[in-house]
Amino acid sequence: MTQPFDIVSRALKDIGALEAGETPTPEAAQDAFDMLNDLLDQWSNESMMVTYKTEIIFPITSGQTQYTIGPNGQIGAIFAGSIVGTTLTVTSISSGAIALGQTLSGTGISAGTTIVAFQSGAGGNINEVGTYTLNISQNVASTTINSYYQRPLSINSAFVRINTNSNGQPIVNGGLDYPVAILNVEDYEMIGLKTLAGPWPKALYYQPSETLGNIFVWPNPSQGEMHIFADTIFSRYNSINDPIILPQGFLMALRWCLAERLMPMYGKASQTQIAMIQAFAAQGKSTIKRTNMKPIQSARFQDAMLASRQKDAGWILSGGFFR
């Protein structure tokens, strides 16, 4: 399996810093490895470079309007599982949902262990039972495992799932999903009564603070299960020998984009090499972006925009928003 060391070595050869058959010195490899991680951080901010949307699921706590997300945040998952080598086997889930990039904690689990790929498990909280690939090899007997989501850079969309009942008994898989509007800070500030009680959230505002993000929901809910969708963040590699698990096309893009970043550091590339490397780097990224292009979304309107404007004093509760 390809490792960061392989990408680093190829990139250094592409710019003429290494000859065929040579390997980089530890110092040169570390410099290029750091640049590779910086490159991945930059790609996390380019939406069209991201191939996978993370579904963040958490139960609503009655009367709570603010939730934290990130390492040791309030939003995460609790499940039963075991680890053999780099394979995590999940047998059941108690709360939350499993997603790529989650950090695991529990008895005997190595610090910094994260989920890097799906195997037979598909994530979420419905098809979560199965196997997943981890970044650190270890052996852990069956135990209760806590996992935490990455802090999203932004939130794309969301809905809330409300359980339905028949004769007082919950209907299995009978939840109804209602869209939740994503607000910017100005729209959130317009809400006059942020503690207004309601049956479930109709809107949320996300503040991507460092290192924990804050999710504010409105109105003050009494029930529901939130489903939030965000671009998956590329995980930084802890070691130059970590396995690289990315879709087709990413290895070539990483190689040439890293070579492009390393050229000023070494200054060994000729004008012909510079033009070739820049062309290959641009081609690698554009190929991935074309693959990740989505169909144009049909026009949608919030229910509030279609509701009639009644002549009453109800606007004071929301400052006129959502009416």
Burial of 262 per CB tally in 10 Å (0-12, 13-18, 19+): buried
| pLDDT of residue 164 exceeding 70 | no
Q: What is the mean pLDDT of the chain?
A: 87
Least confident among 29-38, 123-132, 255-264, 310-319: 310-319
Residue % of the chain over a pLDDT of 70: 86
CA distances from 310 to 303, 306, 313, 320 (A): 14, 12, 9, 11
| pLDDT of residue 320 exceeding 60 | no
Give the model confidence (pLDDT) of 49-105 as tens digits.
998 888 888 889 999 999 999 888 889 888 999 999 999 999 998 887 888 888 899
- 165-166 vs 181-183, strand pairing mode: unpaired
Neighbours of 36 (CB within 10 A): 25
List of residues 6+ apart from 36 with CB closer than 8 A: 4, 7, 8, 237, 254, 258
DSSP state string for 78-120:
EEEEEEEEEEEEEEEEEES-B-TTPEEESTTPPTT-BEEEESS
Least confident among 90-104, 153-167, 202-216, 289-303: 289-303
Task: Name the phi and psi angles at 48, rounded to 5.
Answer: -75, -5
Can you name the residues that pair with 92 across neighbouring β-strands? 80
Mean pLDDT across 155-177: 78
Least confident among 7-16, 162-171, 277-286, 309-318: 309-318
Q: Which class is 4-50+235-292 in CATH?
A: mainly alpha
Mean pLDDT across 18-23: 92
Neighbours of 213 (CB within 10 A): 23
Closest residue by Cα to residue 249 from 279, 210, 280, 272: 280
pLDDT of 314 reads 46
| pLDDT of residue 306 exceeding 70 | no
Residue with tokens 């990408």: 7
Mean pLDDT across 198-202: 91
Give the model confidence (pLDDT) of 248-292 as tens digits.
999 999 999 999 999 998 887 688 889 999 999 999 999 999 998
Distance of alpha carbon 115 from alpha carbon 24, whole angstroms = 29
pLDDT of 284 reads 95
| pLDDT of residue 303 exceeding 60 | no
- The residue length of the chain stands at 323
| pLDDT of residue 37 exceeding 80 | yes
pLDDT of 219 reads 95
Q: Where are the domains of the chain?
A: 4-50+235-292, 53-68+152-232, 76-148
